Amino acid sequence: MEIKIGKSARVCAACETEFAHGQQLASRVRQTEEGLVREDFCQACWTDEKAQQAYSSWFPVYHDPAVVNAEPPEAHSPLRQAFYESVESAERVDLAKAYLAAQLLRRQKVFRLIKESDEADGETKIALYTDKHEDRLIEVHDPNLSFDELEEGRNALLQRLAELEAPEDEPACSGEDGDGASNGAHDAVDLSDGEVTQGGENPETGDGEQNHAREAV
């Protein structure tokens, strides 16, 4: 399944009227020959028929990029930065980092889950999120990550957060006993070994091959 990741359009897909900052929209993901694509509409152009033709639909608020870019730095947290650095990578450790970061950003109500589904081959789960700061549609892959891969991704995410949080003139502390920025990273990624369980066998419990407990992430 190919998904074209993108932010909301600046104009309505039907009447081409420009959106205003803070305007309530109606958005959908629709199946085309090229894959899934996003379309955004003003409320006046949204109809039940458009909703019925959608793979998924939701009602976001439009954020003018000029206004968003003027937001304080707090809107661009290290966790969000680490997520966007990893989400489009094909490396499994980066996919694990993006998966875990997305779960945390959803918990913080920065990301909103729009739809979650399995690929036809049953090997890859895809989740679609929106980012409230940019109203961007985001595709997050979970290719049946193992417990060990998730743990590797967790450690890599912790290290990257430590690097992002460290002052520019100070090196980031590594290891779980480090001080300073690494402690802040551990606070952001509170994922204990026993809680992160995935498809595959948990080395500590020896549970079956298809343990998909992801809610504890």
- 111-118: strand order across its sheet: 6-7, 136-142, 125-131, 111-118
Question: What does the pLDDT look like over 40-67, one tens digit per residue?
Answer: 999 999 999 999 998 889 998 888 877 7
Closest Cα partner for 210 from 125, 134, 129? Answer: 125
Higher per-residue pLDDT: 76 or 153:
153
Mean per-residue pLDDT, 144-170: 85
Mean of all residue pLDDT scores within the chain: 75
Q: In the structure, what pLDDT confidence band is assigned to residue 68 with cuts at 50, 70 and 90?
A: low
Mean per-residue pLDDT, 121-142: 80
Spans of all domains in the chain: 6-64, 71-111+141-217
Q: In the structure, what pLDDT confidence band is assigned to residue 14 with cuts at 50, 70 and 90?
A: very high
Residue 194 is predicted with a pLDDT of 37
Q: Which amino acid, one-letter code, is at 177?
A: D
Question: What does the pLDDT look like over 87-98, one tens digit per residue?
Answer: 888 899 999 999
CB-CB contact of 161 with 185 (8 Å): yes
Closest Cα partner for 86 from 107, 102, 74, 103? Answer: 102
206: left (phi over 0), alpha (psi -120 to 50) or beta: left
Question: What does the pLDDT look like over 21-32, one tens digit per residue?
Answer: 889 999 998 888
Structure tokens at 23: 């305007």
CB-CB contact of 76 with 158 (8 Å): no
CA atoms 6, 12, 16, 21: torsion sign? negative
Task: Enter the DSSP assignment of 4.
Answer: -
